[in-house]
Copies of this chain bind each other. A is one copy, B any other.
């Protein structure tokens, strides 16, 4: 809100120093991520972004285009950073379980260091009708399918070929959701370490998955099964 630019030399805001384009672009993206993260896409205003970036609006438009494009640029940059953070710690030569463990650790480490990035990626996911929804959804789906593959490898490694087709993807979706939700919960419990968080998710995922791939999946007993009707048969 207040003018926190350095060198407020007496009178007026003092034209910002001339900086190379790359630097300014980074500044702008940083500010945009922060503001989008805090306010959400629609509530974020270009005015606030420009203020936070310490630069005037026209420069934002000149360098990164209109609001939508700016947002897309944020998404892309942060998604890339997240993917690289995880890819950087995963070693494909390791057995699947270890890969998963490292990946999960990488994820929580990234979230720990980049709360804003994470929020932008996570919290805007469903703003349907927006033109960039595709971008977000696509990223999410890519993540899910990568994890799905990992699960499939794990299943094969354990010699369980019977793992039903089409089962990995929804499970991966559940896993990603669990991770997101845990990361959210973490926001309210900052005293937890990344490793503790990672351990929780790994347990939830692996122990459940460990049983599933061994064919010991849970199934409702006959009594449990009879209890509920399909709701749409009633409501229709």
Contacts and interface: CB of A to CB of B under 8 A. Distances in A.
Interface of A: 5-6, 8, 21-22, 25, 38-43, 61-63, 65, 89, 98, 101-102, 105-106, 109-110, 112-113, 119, 122-123, 125-130, 144, 167, 169-171, 173-182, 184-185, 189, 192-195, 197, 199-212, 216-220, 223-224, 227-228, 230-232, 235
Contact of A171 (B40, B200, B220): B200
Nearest to A201: B174
Nearest to A144: B185
B230 A194 contact: yes
A83 B13 CA distance: 36
A203 B208 contact: yes
Given A22-B8, A181-B178, A208 B204 contact: yes
Nearest to A43: B42
Contact of A177 (B127, B180, B224, B227): B180
